[in-house]
Amino acid sequence: MKIFNIVSIVFIFFHSFTYAQWTQIPLGTSVELFDLHFISVDTGWVVGRNSTVLKTTNGGIYWTPQQVSVSAEITSVYFVNANIGWASCSNGVIIKTTNGGGNWVQKPSGINEVIYGIYFTSDMEGVAVSASWYNGYPHLGRILKTTDGGETSSIRITDYYDGLIDVFFIDKNQGWACGSRGTIYKTLDGGNTWNLVNQFTGYWLNAIYFYNKNEGIVVGGNVNSDIIY
């Protein structure tokens, strides 16, 4: 009984402690937000509808709007250091900053559909993924790659049946992209070539993350349910 009571007290303590860790922070905007990226415990950015980019330098306590010269929904953001970062947008738009978000410049992508995910392995090499929509379903997914910091990009693969929503790299060579109908692509050469490695579910896969080269997680679902694999 004594052991049970101790375990119960510890469980209640940690249960309460865990739920106490999340605090809603006022952002100064009511628009829908799609992505965030932090380069340190203090400095990070969030992006969303109506060309919204917000930056914090104190761990999310206060957020400052940043000026964006394009009119678009901003779907994803990624920084390689405190100054250089990119964001992907609707209408095939990619924007870049070299001063920590003080100003953003549009870069060519060569496509018109929504670019949902962007990831850079260095200040020069990066990958973006996109999708078009037809009757409420994503299709025509493309994977783009740049080797000159986003000044130019090329289409590495086009999936005519499935849209692509997120991309992640564990190092400069190995990465994955995921999308509709359980689609997962993998690259071992920095995004130059991609192979379809899995379509194990009919659910959309909205985000992908790997702890190491072998272990990873994808999340997704549909209007009725959510899944984690």
Tens digit of each residue's pLDDT (9 = 90 or more) over 84-96: 999 999 999 999 9
Supply the pLDDT for residue 26: 82
Supply the pLDDT for residue 96: 97
Q: Cα 140 to chain center, whole Å?
A: 19
Tens digit of each residue's pLDDT (9 = 90 or more) over 37-83: 999 999 999 999 999 999 999 999 999 999 898 899 999 999 999 99
pLDDT band at residue 106 under the 50/70/90 scheme: very high
DSSP 136: T
Which residues partner with 94 through β-bridges?
88, 107
- For the CA atoms of 129, 32, 23, 17, what is the dihedral angle to 10 degrees? -50
DSSP 189: S
Left (φ > 0), alpha (ψ -120 to 50) or beta: where does 130 sit?
beta
Domains and CATH numbers, the chain: 31-228 (2.120.10.10)
Give the Å distances, CA to CA, from 56 to 59, 117, 179: 6, 21, 30
Supply the pLDDT for residue 163: 96
Tens digit of each residue's pLDDT (9 = 90 or more) over 188-201: 999 999 999 988 88
pLDDT band at residue 8 under the 50/70/90 scheme: very low
Pairing of strands 164-169, 175-179: antiparallel
Supply the pLDDT for residue 20: 62
Tens digit of each residue's pLDDT (9 = 90 or more) over 150-183: 999 999 999 999 999 999 999 999 999 999 999 9
Residues of the chain with pLDDT > 70, as a percent, come to: 91
Question: Distance from first CA to last CA of the chain, Å, rounded?
Answer: 38
C-alpha to C-alpha distance for 165 and 129, rounded to whole angstroms: 6
Count of CA atoms in the C-beta half-sphere (13 A) of 53 = 30
Quickly count: other Cβ atoms within 10 Å of residue 130's Cβ: 29
Which sign does the torsion angle of CA 54, 118, 136, 179 carry?
negative
Q: Mean pLDDT, to the nearest integer, of 197-209?
A: 91
Please state the pTM of the whole predicted model: 0.88
Name the strand (E) or helix (H) holding 166: strand 164-169
